[in-house]
Amino acid sequence: MTKTSHSSTPTRLSDHAEENLRFIRSTMEQAGVFTGISGLGYLLTGLTALIAALVAAPYAPEPRVGIWMIELLIATTVASGFTVLKTRRQGRSLRLATTRKLLGAFLPSMIAGGLLTLAGYMHGFHALLPGIWLTLYGAAVMTAGAWSVRVLRIMGGLFMALGSIALVMPGIGNTLMGVGFGGLHCIFGFIIWRRYGG
């Protein structure tokens, strides 16, 4: 009777390392969070918003809308630019599944804000726009925070609180815009910058 010996060649970890890394990367993209939000970008947009609030303070609600629209363009350019730079420094792509989910959560409220701004400008409820902007931006940030750094949810909640006050007390809307888009962006931008870099 011949004795059969069963020998097995041990599998080296390096043989499967590439496959494991691909699986981990794919899993993180599907279930991870977007950490490319730039704290420095938020901080700088906060400073520009404080300037906008000061510039807009002496004016009536209608011309304030134009000043804040200019600020929106400046802030969007700064925040987007710094986020793109940070994401590239991390060696990540903006086309990840997490980025798409974040934008999908953020954009609907922002589009609603744009439509209400148009309606407000056409039908003359300019004084209510700060409350609408703060509330919808807060809702957008809270929702998007599910796919990004946790502190965004707290910031979004505070924006919604300021927006609620501005809707009830439209006379102080510009001041609350400065507190929200200026102060909160500076504070939370600094927190994100220190905790998550960039």
Q: How far apart are alpha carbons 184 and 179 in whole angstroms? A: 6
Position 1 in a domain: no
Question: Domains in the chain: how many in total?
Answer: 1
Structural domain includes residue 20 = no
| Runs of H (alpha helix) within the chain | 13-31, 39-56, 61-89, 97-123, 129-144, 151-168, 173-177, 185-196
Residues spanned by the domain of 80: 34-196
| pLDDT in the model for residue 131 | 97
Q: Mean pLDDT, 10 residues at a time, over the chain (198 residues)?
A: 49 60 50 69 96 96 94 94 83 64 82 94 93 96 83 94 97 97 96 84
Quick one: pLDDT at residue 128? Answer: 96
pTM of the shown model? 0.78
Q: Is residue 54 part of a domain?
A: yes
The answer to the question of residue 127 being in a domain is yes
Using alpha carbons only, what angle is made at residue 121 by residues 119 and 122, rounded to the nearest 5 degrees?
65
Q: What is the pLDDT of residue 7?
A: 46
Instruction: Identify whether 108 is part of a domain.
Output: yes
Q: Does any domain span residue 16?
A: no
Nearest to 147 by CA among 97, 189, 79: 97
